[in-house]
Structure formats: C-alpha cells, structure tokens
Amino acid sequence: MQIITDVSVCPWPEQRSVITIGAYDGVHLGHRCVIGEVQRRAQLASARSTVVTFDRHPASVVRPESAPRLLTDAAQRLELLEATGVDATVVLAFDDSRRLEDPADFVRRVLVEGLRASAVVVGEDFHFGVSRSGNVGMLRELGVTLDFEVLPVPLLDRSDGIGEPVSSTAIRRALAGGEVEQAAAMLGRPFQARGPVTQGDQRGRLLGFPTANVAVPAQICLPADGVYAGVYERPDGSRHACAINLGRRPTFYDHATTSLLEAHLLDFDGDLYGELARVEFVAFLRSERKFDGIDALKAQLKLDCEHARAVAGL
C-alpha cells in the first residue's frame, strides 16, 4: 500500500482514482464494506483505490473536550487499511486550518486536483468540512461540475439484532460495558490494545502469577475494568493465551485512580520488559473485586487462568 502525505502534486498524473474519506478509527466491518466498494469500482475503471484519512481524529481538534478515545493508534490503523488491499492511503494533517476549510475547496484541491477522483464512495450519513456542512448532496452537486461520481453506501447493520448500524461509537459503547465479544463482531476481529511492557511493583511474580504491565496510551479506548481471557502477541509474532486484569487492583490499593492493564501469559517464562505488546481481548470473565486476603486472591487467579485457557482459543 502506498502511503501519501502530500497531495500538492498528484501522485498518479496519468491515472484517476476512486476515493473514500473518513477518520477510519477501528477499520471495522462498516468501514471495510465501503472500502470493498471502492476497490470494486476502481477495478472496473482501472483506477487507484484510495482511502483519504487524517493524522488524528478530527474531533480532537474540533471538540477536544469531548473527543472520543481511539479504537486504533495510527500504526495499527495503517496496518488494518493495508490488510484490506487498498492501493493507497492518503494521511492528511488535521489542524485548525483544516477544521475551518470550506468543504468545496477541500474537494477541489484534494480530491480533484490532488488525486484525480473519478468517483467518491462514502457512507450515506457522511459529513465533512467546517461545521460538518459538507454532505452527500453537496458532493453530488460538485461531482456534476468537477467530473466525478458520488456513490453513497448504506450503513452496515449489526449482526446481533440490536437494530443499529456498525459504527466506531457502537464499538466504544460495547467496550465500555465489557462486551468485548460484541465489539469483536463489529470489528471483524478481537479488540486489541498496544503498548510497551513496563516495570510494575513485582507483586504478580510474588503471588506466582507474573504479569506484563502494558502501558497503553491514554488516548486509546479500553474495555471496562475486569478480568478477561485474551491473547498476547509478541513482536516476533508468537501468540500466547493470557489472563488479563484491567483495573485498579482494589485488594492492594484503596484509592487508585487509573486502570492498569496486566497480562499473565499462560505457560510462559521469559523477559518481556520493553517490548511492544499487542493484547487481544477475547472474552469477559468476571468483574474486578476486592479479596479478603492473598490466599483468596491466589485461588481466584488460578480459576481465572483455567477459564482463560479454555476460551482463549490457543
């Protein structure tokens, strides 16, 4: 996949492109449905299939006080877009000038002059530009004069009968309730958190259940506090079933204010410090709670590991 950050000069002056635009946080099944239509149309027209996205979520600039936490960091989002087989992804800086940009100017400068769009494929509820004033109707009007087709795609309904479309917002809501299996059904894969393994208080090792403390960036969305079955992927690609504790460790701390992600790798003995961990949440096992003592906690941890082994799928 070609990654482009500058469209002041068209990267393919002899070829046109079929484009979709969006934040693409999560690259979920709804996103992939739109991208699939982009690829189909591009193949028919011998054009470049292209995703136009941004270096940060637009909401972090437009309304930073209420911007959502992200389902994917920048690197994971590009990995997932590349996995779709799309020809190119354009990553544009989103700043105050972009926030205030007239949507018609954006279309002319980026889509038409910069990328030679022959078609623009978007979800039927698509909005863009200053105050979200751009929409499918505006795109169609511009397409008539600027020579590109506009192809709105119906939103993809969830498969669990909830009666709402697949969306990043719906996935965040599922994670907030600890419903990682619902989130996975909309993502098309288990939700994954990433971060470096950092030194902890060593208590897990003393308990006989050593954990990798994963420092997930603050802007990343995490599931509700609790214990989960999961899979830990190392940088070498090896995958290990794990029991995940996400929470404030109330047995040891009365007033912890932030959640910590700890993964106990089953049947593993080795040094993980400093490596970039990828932790997949497969299933919710139980809520986090305070235990009466160390022996009660250790007995529960043993049960958690047995349960995680049974459901992690490795």
Instruction: Looking at the structure, give the CATH architecture of the domain made up of residues 190-311.
Output: Beta Barrel (2.40)
Residue reference for tokens 């910590």: 260
Give which of 203, 313, 212, 193 is closest to 268, Cα–Cα: 212
The mean per-residue pLDDT over the stretch 151-161 comes to 85
Distance separating alpha carbons of residues 116 and 111, to the nearest angstrom: 6
Distance CA 284, CA 182 (A): 11
Query: Does residue 9 carry a pLDDT above 60?
Result: yes
Let me know if 37 is a catalytic residue.
Answer: no
Report whether pLDDT(230) > 60: yes
Q: Return d(Cα 264, Cα 294) in angstroms, integer.
A: 17
pLDDT of residue 299: 83
Domains 2-153 and 190-311 fall in the same CATH topology: no
pLDDT the model gives residue 253? 56
Domain 2-153 has CATH 3.40.50.620: yes
Which one of 37, 101, 233, 262 is the catalytic residue?
262
First to last CA, the chain: 31
Higher pLDDT, 207 or 301: 301
174: pLDDT strictly greater than 60: yes
Distance between CA atoms of residues 45 and 41, nearest Å: 6
pTM of the model: 0.92
Do 19 and 37 form a contact (C-beta atoms < 8 A)?
no
Confidence of residue 87 (pLDDT cuts 50, 70, 90): very high
**Mean pLDDT value across residues 293-305:** 82
301 vs 12, 113, 278, 298, CA distance in Å?
A: 57, 59, 22, 5
Q: Dump strand ranges (E) for 95-238.
A: 117-123, 127-128, 134-135, 149-153, 191-198, 212-214, 226-233
pLDDT confidence bin for 290, thresholds 50/70/90: confident
Tell me how far apart the alpha carbons of residues 198 and 44 are, in angstroms, rounded to a whole number.
Answer: 49
The residues near 257 (Cβ < 8 Å, ≥ 6 apart) are 248
Tell me the domain boundaries of the chain: 2-153, 190-311
Task: Name the strands in the sheet holding 117-123, side by side, starting at the edge strand that comes first in the sequence.
Answer: 2-4, 88-92, 48-54, 17-21, 117-123, 149-153
